[in-house]
Amino acid sequence: MKFYLALLFSFIFVSPVFAGEEKSDTKTAQTENAEIDPVLKAKKEKEVDSYMPYLIAVQAKQTNDYETAAEYFKEAYEKNPDSELLRSELMLSSTILGKVEDAIPLAEEVIKKENNDLLSTMIAFTGRLMKDDYKGALSVLRSFSRKVDIQAIYPIFEFWTYIGIGNREKAIETLKKMDNPAVKSFYLFHSALYYDFIDDEELASHYLKMLTSEPGSLTLRGAQVIGNYALRHKKLQDYAHIVQAYRNTDKIYSLKDDSFFTKGEQSNLDVPPTITSAKMGIAEAFFDLATSLKDTSEETAIYFLQLTLKLDPDLGLARFLLGELIEKQARYDEAIEYFSKESEKSDIYYISQLRIGLIYYDKLKQYDKAEKVFKNLASLRDDTALPWRYLADMYQANKQYDKAIEVLTEALKVIHYTDGSRWYYFYFRGVAYERSGNWPAAEADLKKSLELYHNQPEVLNYLAYSWLERGEHLEEAMKMLTKAVELAPADGAISDSFGWAYYMQKNYAKAVEYLELALKLTPGSAVISDHLGDAYWRIGRKFEAKYQWRKSLDIEPDMTEDLKARIEEKLEKGLDAVGDKFEGFKK
C-alpha cells in the first residue's frame, strides 16, 4: 500500500565493515606486530584468503548473478568467519535467492552483537515465526534498537505477534496505536483482516467498508481481500461493487486478467479465508512494505517478498511481484520459475502464465515455447483476447503474416467483447493483410476498425499512409493524417507519415519540418531517416541527405534487400538518378 511510502525512506540498512577494518592507526599497528603476534598474523591470513572470492562475489552481485554471488560469499565467509561484512553479504544474497533458512542463523549472529540492522531483525523475526515461536519473535522485535525509524508501522508487527501468543487484549491496545491519519489505510486493512480472522462478521464488515472509502486504499490486494470476504459470505452484490470500484481506479493489473475476479460470479465457489494464522497477517505487512518499495528500492522489496512467502506461501500476488522484479533484473529463468508456481486454481494463474509467454517471446526469443503458452491460455478463457494478441504480435514480428491473420480471425470469432476492443483486432489483422499483399482485405479491416473506433490515431495513420504509398485518395489521406497528428502530436510514426505526405506533394520544406520532428520523437527509426534524407536532398542539403541514408543502414542492417539496395544506390548515384519510390497520386 502506497500510503506510507514516505516512511520507508527512513529505513537505513547498516552494512557491517570488513573484519579487521579498524581505524588506520590501529591497522598500522596490527601490520607492524603481525610477525610477532600469531593471533594477528592468523587474522590477516584469513582476510587475504577470503579477499579473492569476495571480489568475485561482488562482481557477480553487480550483474544480478546472485547464485554465483552467494556461492563465493559463502566461500569467503568460511575462510574468514569473523568478518561482519561477509556475514551480512551472505545473509542478503541467501535471502534474495529465497534461501531464508540459510540466512536466519546469519541474522541471529548479527543481532547478537548489536541489533540495529532492520533487515537482520526481520529475518531473525521471520525465523522464529516459521517455527510458530511467537514469544521468541516478540523478543527479537523488542530488541531492535532503532524502533524510532519505523515507529509508524512497528506496532503492526507487535500486534500480530501478540495475536500469535494469544494475548488479544495487548494486541488490540497495540493496534490502536496505528489509528492515525498517516497510516489510516494500513490500520483499517489490518483491522479488517483481524476481525475476519476471528470470525467477527460485524466488525470485519465495518472495517472493510471504511477501507473502501479511504482515498488511495483500493489496491489490487485490497480488492482481493474485500472480494474474498464478499464471496465467502455470499454477498455477490458487494462483490460486484468492489470489482467495479477497482476498475475505476488507476489500477496496476486489470481485473479481467485475474481469474479470482472472473470466477466471482459463481455463487457456489469455494473461497478460502484470506488468512488463517497470525504469521499470515505479518506476511501481509511484509507484502505491503515490498509493494511500497518496488519502485524505489527493488532489491529491498525482493528481501521483503521472500520473507512474505516464507510466512504465507499461498500469497500469489507476492510471488507475482517477486517474479516481476526478478524479470527486471534480467534473471529470466528464475522469473519463469516463480511465475510457474501458480496452480490453475490460483488467483493469478492466468496473468502469471501470460508473463511466462512474454518472457519466452520478448526476452528469450524462444518462440515455440511462447506459442505453446499463449495457445493454452487462449483455450482456457473467452473473456480476454490477450493471448491471441500476443500470438499475433509474435507472428507479425517474425513475418508470419498468414499465421497472424489466422489467430486474429479466430479471436474475432470466439472472444466475448464488452469494452469495444474489437477495433484493435480488425486493425491488427488489416496490418497483417497489408503486409502479406492482400490489400483489399487489409483496406476492409482498417475501415472496419475506424468504424468501431472513430478517430483512432494509429488506424488513421496506417490507412492514410497505405493510401499514400499506393498513390490513392490524397485529399482524404491528408485529412486523416491531419487529424492523427492533432490526436497524437508526440507520435513519431504519425509525424513521419504527415511529412511524407507533404513530400509526395512536392512541398519539401514542409516535409522537412515534420520529418525532423518525427526523427526527434523517434530517433532510432531507419524509415524516418531514409525519408528525411530524401527530403534533404530535394531542398539541396545533399551532404545531410547522405548522412541520413547511411544512418538508416546503420540503424537497421537487416532491412529488406530491395530497400537496402535502393538506399545504397542513392548514396552512390544520388536521388535524382534513382528517382522517388512512388509514381504520383491517383485521385
Distances (CA, A) of 211 to 180, 192, 223, 282: 14, 8, 10, 19
Rounded mean pLDDT, 424-428: 92
Nearest CA-CA partner of 257 in 219, 312, 220, 302: 220
Instruction: Look at residue 22 in the predicted model and tell me its pLDDT.
Output: 40
User: Do 300 and 11 touch, CB atoms closer than 8 A?
Assistant: yes
Instruction: Look at residue 411 in the predicted model and tell me its pLDDT.
Output: 87
Residue 399 identity (one-letter amino acid) = K
Instruction: Look at residue 8 in the predicted model and tell me its pLDDT.
Output: 37
Alpha-carbon span 249 to 454, nearest angstrom: 25
Distances (CA, A) of 148 to 68, 116, 156, 159, 486: 36, 11, 14, 17, 53
Higher pLDDT, 185 or 217: 185
Per-residue pLDDT band for 217 (boundaries 50, 70, 90) equals low
pLDDT reading at 26 higher than 80: no
Instruction: Look at residue 223 in the predicted model and tell me its pLDDT.
Output: 84
Q: What is the full DSSP assignment across 548-584?
A: HHHHHHHH-TTS-HHHHHHHHHHHHH-HHHH--SS--
Alpha-carbon span 73 to 92, nearest angstrom: 10
Alpha-carbon span 319 to 337, nearest angstrom: 10
Q: The whole model's pTM is what?
A: 0.80
Alpha-carbon span 433 to 427, nearest angstrom: 10
Q: What is the full DSSP assignment across 101-149?
A: HHHHHHHHHHHHH----HHHHHHHHHHHHHTT-HHHHHHHHHH-TTGGG
pLDDT over 70, % of the chain: 85
pLDDT reading at 290 higher than 90: yes
pLDDT tens, residue by residue, 61-118: 999 999 999 999 999 999 889 889 999 999 999 999 999 999 999 999 999 888 888 9
541 φψ region: left (φ > 0), alpha (ψ -120 to 50), beta (else): beta
Q: Helix or strand or coil: residue 586?
A: strand
Phi and psi torsions of 420, nearest 5°: 75, 15
Higher pLDDT, 397 or 3: 397
Instruction: Look at residue 266 in the predicted model and tell me its pLDDT.
Output: 54
User: Do 374 and 380 touch, CB atoms closer than 8 A?
Assistant: no
Instruction: Look at residue 474 in the predicted model and tell me its pLDDT.
Output: 85
Nearest CA-CA partner of 351 in 477, 243, 257: 257
Distances (CA, A) of 366 to 363, 575, 577: 8, 41, 44
Rounded mean pLDDT, 410-434: 84
Residue 499 identity (one-letter amino acid) = G
Mean of the per-residue pLDDT values of the chain: 85
pLDDT reading at 15 higher than 90: no
Rounded mean pLDDT, 439-446: 97
Instruction: Look at residue 202 in the predicted model and tell me its pLDDT.
Output: 94
Per-residue pLDDT band for 386 (boundaries 50, 70, 90) equals confident
Instruction: Look at residue 309 in the predicted model and tell me its pLDDT.
Output: 97
pLDDT reading at 181 higher than 50: yes
Instruction: Look at residue 153 in the predicted model and tell me its pLDDT.
Output: 84
E strand segments, 143-292: none
Instruction: Look at residue 443 in the predicted model and tell me its pLDDT.
Output: 97
User: Do 116 and 14 touch, CB atoms closer than 8 A?
Assistant: yes
pLDDT over 90, % of the chain: 59
Rounded mean pLDDT, 413-427: 77
Rounded mean pLDDT, 11-19: 36
Higher pLDDT, 568 or 37: 568
Nearest CA-CA partner of 434 in 412, 456, 449: 449
Rounded mean pLDDT, 35-58: 66
pLDDT reading at 144 higher than 80: yes
Instruction: Look at residue 357 in the predicted model and tell me its pLDDT.
Output: 96
pLDDT reading at 140 higher than 70: yes
Helices (H), 312-385: 316-328, 332-339, 349-358, 367-380
Alpha-carbon span 426 to 408, nearest angstrom: 8
pLDDT tens, residue by residue, 232-277: 888 888 888 887 777 666 554 544 444 455 454 555 567 788 999 9
- Which of 49-53, 311-315, 392-396 is predicted with the least confidence, judged by mean pLDDT? 49-53
Q: Helix or strand or coil: residue 275?
A: coil
